[in-house]
Amino acid sequence: MTSPSTTAAPGAVDPASPTWTIAEVAEEFGVTHRTVRHYEDLGLISPERRGTTRVYHRRDRTRLGLILRGKRLGFPLEEIRTIIDLYDAPRGRRSQLEYVLAQIDERREDLEQRRRDLEAALSELTEFERRCRSDLERMA
């Protein structure tokens, strides 16, 4: 159901690496094809074109996974784009590498703020549950 397309056709470019159609990746990640196309419009993924048809490689699936995780974490798509582009950014020159390292630091700050918020929310929830359970006990 989520197995790659049988791309053994004459026009196959690299038979070693599997490819997927838009319907397959959408199905697999639980989104609509419209969503996948929207991410492409925003430049978050750029599948190969065989003629006019989109052909998705492992790289695209990886990026789609990162996008959806970013969404679950509440990041806007524009920000997600800069984040995953970071992973593919050129790091040839020292200046580029240092820029990337600086970006990484910003990202970490943000993620750790979120973690603090998350921990706080979870511990408040746990404390609230404790109170509820003690209430329940007193009622029995």
Partner DNA sequence: CACGTTCTTGACGTTGACGTCAACGTAAAG
Partner DNA sequence: CTTTACGTTGACGTCAACGTCAAGAACGTG
**Structure token pair of residue 96:** 């580029």
Q: Select from DNA, its own copies, none the partner in contact with residue 98, using the beta carbon and a kind-dependent cut-off of 5 to 8 Å.
A: its own copies
State which amino acid sits at residue 12. A
Kindly report each contact of residues 50-53 with a partner whose C-beta sits within 8 Å and lies 24 or more positions away, as own/partner: 50/11, 53/21
Taking CB under 7 A as the criterion, the residue among 24, 45, 60, 83 binding DNA is 24
By rule CB under 7 A, what string of x and - marks binding of each residue 28-67 to DNA?
A: ---xxxxx-xx---x--------xxxx-------------
Taking CB under 7 A as the criterion, the residue among 78, 98, 109, 124 binding DNA is 78
| Dmax (CA) of the chain | 74
Q: Report in angstroms how near the CB of residue 79 gets to its own copies at its nearest.
A: 11
Q: Select from DNA, its own copies, none the partner in contact with residue 102, using the beta carbon and a kind-dependent cut-off of 5 to 8 Å.
A: none
Continuous segment of H or E residues that includes residue 95: helix 94-139
CA-wise closest residue to 33 among 45, 44, 46, 24: 24
Number of C-beta neighbours around residue 81 at 10 A: 19
Q: Is 76 in the site for DNA (CB under 7 A)?
A: yes
Site residues for DNA per CB under 7 A: 9, 21-24, 31-35, 37-38, 42, 51-54, 71, 76-78
